[in-house]
Structure formats: C-alpha cells, structure tokens
Amino acid sequence: MPIFKLLSKNFTYQKKDKLKSRKQTQFLFSKGTAITMHPIRLLYTIEKVEAGIFPNGLLQAGVGAPSRQFRKAVQRNRVKRLLREGYRLEKPNFTNSISLTNTRLNLFFLYVDVNVQTQQQIQTSIKLILQKLADKLKPNVV
C-alpha cells in the first residue's frame, strides 16, 4: 500500500471526530476543565461510558474563535481553519499517547489572542496543550 494512503488515514478530522452535539457542548462549557497555553484555551471533559457503547473510546473536538475579538467572519473562519488543521496534524500523536477504553473525551479549542498567529505557532501550541492533557490523563485513564 502506498505511504500516502497510510498517512491519509492517520491525519483525518472527519464528521465522527467533530463535536456537534449541543448537549455535549453545553456540558463541556458548564462543567469542563480548562488548560490555557497562549494563544489557545482547551476545554475538556472526560466521561466513563458503559462497556458496549464505545469500546474503543470516543474522542471528539470542536474549535471556536470569539466574535468580540474577530469582528469579521472571514477572520473567525481563518482562525478556526488553522485550529482544525493544527489539531488534525497532532491528533495521531495524542491518541497514541493515551488509552480511551470505555471513555468519552470531548475537547474544545478556543483562540484567545487578538492577533492571528501563523500555522506553525498554532500547531506548536496545540501540541503542547495536548501533551499536557495526556500527562494529566495517564493516571486517570485505565
């Protein structure tokens, strides 16, 4: 199998990976825990689920940019695109470093800076945040 086929399966951000449930999002913002590393704030929740529902675990993520700081939709959409791309590239390393057996993990990346940074800076911040989250999850997740 060609290498680009193998890589394309690892670095994906499909519909099943997106946090779309309003109920889950509201729970995330009301009860979630935050990790902030400039210019990104990560909100996350960890839920144990029954053995048959998600045997391999479920990891879903969402992104956001505040309209108060980015008045124009073009700017907000660019920031969200950069956040999604950074998460897509760092997700395989994150999933390899943790175990999500019978666990639902919801993530939400918020951009908190006023100025838009480069893709490399955003990806580095996401990488550091996900490493910090993986370190916190290791003692908790079985």
**pLDDT per residue over 74-117, tens digit each?**
999 999 999 999 999 999 999 999 888 788 899 999 999 999 99
How open is the CA angle 47-52-55, to the nearest 5 degrees? 65
pLDDT at 100: 82
On the question of pLDDT at 48 being above 90, the answer is no
On the question of pLDDT at 1 being above 70, the answer is no
More confident residue, 132 or 9: 132
Query: Distance between CA atoms of 102 and 29, rounded to whole angstroms?
Result: 22
pLDDT at 142: 45
Average of per-residue pLDDT across 20-45: 95
CATH code assigned to 20-140:
3.30.230.10
- Residue 94's nearest CA partner among 142, 138, 38, 53 is 138
Dihedral sign, CA of 88, 92, 95, 97?
negative
Query: Distance between CA atoms of 68 and 7, rounded to whole angstroms?
Result: 37
Give me 31's structure tokens. Answer: 């009860």
On the question of pLDDT at 57 being above 50, the answer is yes
On the question of pLDDT at 55 being above 80, the answer is no
Average of per-residue pLDDT across 48-71: 84
pLDDT at 50: 78
Return the minimum-mean-pLDDT range out of 29-43, 46-60, 62-76, 120-134: 46-60
pTM here is 0.87
